[in-house]
Amino acid sequence: MAARFAVTDNPFSSLVTAVRGLVHGEVAGSDVLLVLVWAVALVAVLGPLTMRRYGNRA
């Protein structure tokens, strides 16, 4: 079950699916929305962690 999640439900798979749809002209709005949600979630989680780490070095 965890392996299936790692392969199908990750930001890269979502991005590839959305780009393929855009290239073929049959993109679903939900694919693009999912990519945007992944991007916001990653920035929201990793942004503060990166800034905290950067702040400790200065």
Write the pLDDT tens digit of every residue in 1-53: 666 766 777 888 889 989 999 999 988 888 899 999 999 999 999 999 999 98
Per-residue model confidence (pLDDT) at position 2: 64
Measured CA to CA, the distance from residue 33 to residue 7 in angstroms comes to 19
* Contact indicator for 3, 24 with CB cutoff of 8 Å: no
- Write out the residue range of the structural domain in which residue 32 sits: 2-57
Per-residue model confidence (pLDDT) at position 42: 93
| Total tally of structural domains belonging to the chain | 1
Per-residue model confidence (pLDDT) at position 27: 80
Task: Specify the pTM.
Answer: 0.73
Per-residue model confidence (pLDDT) at position 20: 92
Per-residue model confidence (pLDDT) at position 54: 87
